[in-house]
Amino acid sequence: MIFQTIITGLSIGSIYALMAVGYSLVFSVLNFSNFAHGAVITLGAYVAWAVMVNIFQLPFLPALLISMLGAGIIAFLVERIAYSSLRHRRAPSLYFMISAMGMAIALQNVLYATIGANLYALPPVFAQDSIQLGTAVISKMDLFAFGFSILAIALLTFILNFTRVGTAIRAASHDAEMVSVLGVNLDMLVAVLFLLAGALGGMAGVFMGVKYMVYPSMGWITNKAYIGAVIGGLGSLPGAIVGGILLGLVEALISVSTIGGVPLSTYRDVFSFGLLALLLIVRPTGLFGRHVEEKL
Amino acid sequence: MAYAQAIFTNAAIYIIATMGLAIFTGYTGLFSLGHAAFMAIGGYTAAILTYFFKVPLLPALIAGVILSVLVSVIIGYPTLRVKLRSDYFAIATLGFGEAVKVLLENLEITQGARGLPGITKLADPFNTFLFMILTIWLCRNFLHSNYGRKIIAIGQDPVAAEMIGIRLLPNQMLSLAISAGFAGLSGGLLAHYITFIQPAIFNMDLSSLITAGVVCGGMGSLTGPFVAVALFIVIPELFRGLALWRLVMYGALLVVIINFRPKGLFGYEEINLNNAPKLFTIIGITVGLTVAASIYNEYASYWGRFPSVLAALAAAVAISFIVSYAGRWLSSALKPFSAKFSKSMSAFYARYVAAFQKAFTPTRRLEVQLNALKERLAVVRLDHSQPVLKIEHLSKKFGGVVAVNDLSFEVRPGEILGLIGPNGSGKTTVFNLISGVYPIDSGDILFEKKNLVGQPPTAIVLSGISRTFQNIRLFGSMTVLENVQTALHTASNYSLLEAFIQWPWSVNPMEQRQREQALELLKLVDLEEYADRVAKTLPYGLQRKLEIARALALNPRLLLLDEPAAGMNPKESLELVDLIARIHKLRNLTIILIEHHMDVVMNICERIVVINFGSKIAEGTPQEIQCNPAVLEAYLGDKVEVEEYAPLC
């Protein structure tokens, strides 16, 4: 039972981590929380629905790749439309957040207005979904999502550490202005950044869609991922991963716990936010966050 | 007509919540995604009281407001205390919003997710409108008081605010509490207007609506958010026919406003005749869209879709231009009258205030204030038996870097002490340690025999040490006068309630005097002609002078000047020497001066302390310092060169 819960927790946690990494990537360079990330993830899931169910009947893996690409491009477009002029103007982060919120509202409602509020299922990836492991019944999809998320994050880490553009992104996370003075095209860099964040988000969206359903307001779940990113410390990649997985585990454990016979699952979200509040009070910069001291 | 009334009432209700949030988000820059929860608390409290307990509307609303305020204190204390950056604060408030929603869904008395149907319709367009006017009036009054200025100052520069004795936590909590209170009022009215509330109404979209209203309307403005929320409510309503596309439009509107109007519609300004054309343009576009929408609705079936869209668009553009230009003409035509009008209004007001003051003015309180203000320019009585400031074995490390190393010196009463040293020698760190910005590793700082170690910066400032900054830290969007007025906050002693209502017999005379005193201080540094300029538009040298005036407003006995002549040309720095000497003489002030312009230092300092790598390497009169080999070595580096310079002495 507990083993099963942990696997569920790891699986949802790794999906959180995928999304949280997207928040952290953008935050590390641009210093704002991209609240439109949820809409990008939702659109990614809809792309998968379109190519797997609605228009074509593609198998899972090509559909996953197409959704990742689609979500990446959407994230890039969102940046161009909603952030790039603010970025060039060096607007305060509050403005970015409002612009992101506007974008999120608009995109989500475009879905309502065109496709509608229906819930759509994505076809299952495995015919026989669960495997018996001792007493525990474990979903293959959970294992698959966990493995694939870890793989994707490993790939991202590789890109960041061993490619030129990755090095530039890491440098920009310390001082974007300096990097642009050194001759790196910051617009290009940001475009790559959003493509990467969007692609990971698209992947998360597809996993969410397979695991639950595809619907316009599924982006709400990204608030959890955002909590994960904040717990880990915004702007820190390992932080986002640890924070996301930690949150997934805590939620899975709380969902199956009871206090005095009362199931805690109703209050699951309250616990997540409670965990966040507690952590922020103890460590205002998150687990791996940088603390920046201002010079007087 | 009933439909228009409903839109109007809705807009008024949301405007109330937005005005409150403008006081918080607009001035502190902290972003709340949970304000719908305060509306929920106010709404449910009021509704439960009128529904189950048959309480009349007004006390029910007040109870809702009080509960919202209490909850805001509970939420605000832990989150504001740790100085969360704004993203983190946003997610914390989002969590709070969710928690309240879950709670409402599971409580017995709120009837869970089903909500409360059948609330008596006690709110109508008329009383809602009255409450809206009341809200605007209260918010406006608050912002024009010491309490409001403190909050504005914190939003502009929290460090500088602390350095004029403004405590961050209580003031930020106050502004959160005010915003929560008005959100509670708005929620109560909403409940009694729509007569049916359920937890789902108070979701994040509602929170984001009022936050977006503040940011798009313009940070640091009340009228801007007013216009913005009105637009957000009205424009989508015009396109009711478009059903779900309305919310797409609302989202797009946010993106467009934020991207095309860098400061929102009216950032850091209130609507007046000078910027009224902007307002008329907005109204013009709105009216244009209204007409366009009705043309489309009326004629789409006769003319076909495409022609009617074209006609609607043409009408929208034409009407926008007409209204906008008419507004432009009207506001310029009104300008001469408005000056006369406001003059006669203020004359009338002055007469009426004078009458009230004669009858009610609490003379004793005013006297206390008058004395406090007079002290600002009074001569400090010096006690020559002991040093003003005594620094003993002071040390401070940043990681492995020793910034200040076992430093000891004292400052004698009434002197100007120069603190010099090469770049990076730790001079500014000494100031930061004295003023409490950084905690001290070891050592003592005695100010008039009292040990300052461990005291918060605000307490140190209020005990009589003010400072200026190396990189100017003014409250940039305030006027020059307001910068000084803000620093005079300690002189007046009116209460928060008085600030909200602005009693003409206590707050007004106090504010009046505070303004006069601020002008007096500006005169001292030759800035009175710039009193109404926005501080950040002043030239550099004048900004430095303004910082000095602001520091003086705190009635210091010890003044710390951190490179006041930085960036000045020789002529300007000579003027500055004059100014410092004048202030010094006028008030008998004790001053520590950090400066790189040696002509300034040698001119006015009676004694000089030289530090290098955090340690004192010399102390003495300017003459002695100029010849000190250790000093020459620190500045010039080489033994041989020291030999060459030594004969100058």
CA distance B649 to A250: 75
Contact across the interface for B247 and A105, Cβ inside 8 Å: yes
Residues in chain B within 8 Å Cβ distance of A106: 247-252, 254-255
Boundaries of every domain in chain A = 2-219
Reported pTM: 0.88
CA distance B182 to A266: 30
Contact across the interface for A269 and B83, Cβ inside 8 Å: no
Residue that finishes a domain, picked among B167, B193, B219: B219
Q: How many angstroms separate the CA of residue A265 from the nearest CA in chain B?
A: 11
Q: Give the CATH number, domain containing residue B424.
A: 3.40.50.300
Is B68 within a domain? yes
Is B280 within a domain? no
CA distance B446 to B474: 28
Residue that finishes a domain, picked among B219, B235, B266: B219
Q: Is the model more confident about B51 or about A264?
A: B51
Cα R_g (chain A), whole angstroms: 19
Supply the mean pLDDT for chain A.
87
Length of chain B: 649
Residues in chain B within 8 Å Cβ distance of A273: 92, 94-96, 98-99
Is B131 within a domain? yes
B423 to chain A, any CB pair closer than 8 A? The answer is no
Contact across the interface for B243 and A98, Cβ inside 8 Å: no
Q: How many angstroms separate the CA of residue B227 from the nearest CA in chain A?
A: 17
CA distance B441 to B514: 39
Closest partner residue to B254 (CB to CB) among A98, A270, A273 is A98
Q: Comparing A98-107, B130-139, B373-382, which segment has the lowest mean pLDDT?
A: B373-382
CA distance B81 to B272: 37
Residues in chain A within 8 Å Cβ distance of B98: 269-270, 273
What per-residue confidence (pLDDT) applies to B646? Answer: 55
Q: How many CB atoms lie within 10 A of CB B67?
A: 19
Q: Which of B83, B28, B72, B93 is nearest to B177 (CA)?
A: B72
Residues in chain A within 8 Å Cβ distance of B245: 109, 113
Q: CA B96 → CA B35, B333, B577, distances in Å?
A: 9, 50, 54
Helices (H), B273-304: 276-303
Residues 6+ apart with CB under 8 A from B417: B409, B411, B590, B591, B592, B593, B605, B606, B607, B608, B609
- ipTM above 0.90 for this complex: no
CA distance B200 to B45: 16
What per-residue confidence (pLDDT) applies to B640? Answer: 55
CB of B95 within 8 A of CB of A268?
A: no
Q: Is the model more confident about B424 or about A42?
A: A42
Q: Comparing A222-231, B119-128, B411-420, B458-467, which segment has the lowest mean pLDDT?
A: A222-231
Q: How many angstroms separate the CA of residue A12 from the nearest CA in chain B?
A: 20
Contact across the interface for A105 and B258, Cβ inside 8 Å: no
Q: What is the pLDDT of residues B152-177, one digit of tens each?
A: 999 899 999 999 999 999 999 999 99
Q: How many CB atoms lie within 10 A of CB B343?
A: 10
Work out the pLDDT band at A39, boundaries 50, 70, 90: very high
Q: How many angstroms separate the CA of residue A106 from the nearest CA in chain B?
A: 4
CA distance B590 to B605: 11
Work out the pLDDT band at B639, boundaries 50, 70, 90: low
Q: How many CB atoms lie within 10 A of CB B314?
A: 12
Residue that finishes a domain, picked among B171, B204, B219: B219
Residues in chain B within 8 Å Cβ distance of A277: 78-79, 92, 95
Closest residue on chain B to A33 (Cα): B87
Q: How many angstroms separate the CA of residue A179 from the nearest CA in chain B?
A: 24
Q: How many CB atoms lie within 10 A of CB B163?
A: 28
The structural domain count of chain B equals 2
What per-residue confidence (pLDDT) applies to B648? Answer: 57
Closest residue on chain B to A108 (Cα): B248
Supply the mean pLDDT for chain B.
88
Q: What is the pLDDT of residues B379-410, one digit of tens each?
A: 888 888 889 999 999 999 988 888 999 999 99
Is B398 within a domain? yes
B247 to chain A, any CB pair closer than 8 A? The answer is yes
Q: What is the pLDDT of residues B423-440, one digit of tens each?
A: 888 899 999 999 998 999
Q: Which of B531, B547, B481, B538 is nearest to B511 (CA)?
A: B481
Q: Structural domain of residue B530, as residue ranges?
A: 389-648
Is B635 within a domain? yes
CB of A66 within 8 A of CB of B213?
A: no
Mean pLDDT calculated for residue range A213-225: 87
Is B563 within a domain? yes
Contact across the interface for A99 and B83, Cβ inside 8 Å: no
Contact across the interface for A284 and B88, Cβ inside 8 Å: yes
Q: Comparing A124-128, A247-251, B257-261, which segment has the lowest mean pLDDT?
A: A124-128
Contact across the interface for B247 and A109, Cβ inside 8 Å: yes
CB of B584 within 8 A of CB of B413?
A: no
What per-residue confidence (pLDDT) applies to B642? Answer: 55
- For residue A64, pLDDT over 90 is answered with yes
Residues in chain A within 8 Å Cβ distance of B243: 113
Cα R_g (chain B), whole angstroms: 30
Specify the DSSP class assigned to residue B100.
Answer: H
Contact across the interface for B88 and A277, Cβ inside 8 Å: no
Is B361 within a domain? no
Q: What is the DSSP string of A97-135?
A: HHHHHHHHHHHHHHHHHHT-S--BPPPPS-SS-EEEETT
Q: How many angstroms separate the CA of residue A59 from the nearest CA in chain B?
A: 33
Specify the DSSP class assigned to residue A265.
Answer: G
Q: What is the pLDDT of residues B27-43, one digit of tens each?
A: 888 888 889 999 999 99
Contact across the interface for A98 and B262, Cβ inside 8 Å: no
Contact across the interface for A106 and B255, Cβ inside 8 Å: yes
B334 to chain A, any CB pair closer than 8 A? The answer is no
Q: What is the pLDDT of residues B443-470, one digit of tens each?
A: 999 999 899 998 999 999 999 999 999 8
Q: CA B145 → CA A98, B85, B492, distances in Å?
A: 30, 27, 10
What per-residue confidence (pLDDT) applies to A290? Answer: 67
B117 to chain A, any CB pair closer than 8 A? The answer is no
Contact across the interface for B88 and A105, Cβ inside 8 Å: no
Specify the DSSP class assigned to residue B565.
Answer: T
Is B281 within a domain? no
The fraction of chain B above a pLDDT of 70, given in percent, is 97
Q: Is the model more confident about A192 or about B208?
A: A192
Specify the DSSP class assigned to residue B622.
Answer: H
B215 to chain A, any CB pair closer than 8 A? The answer is yes
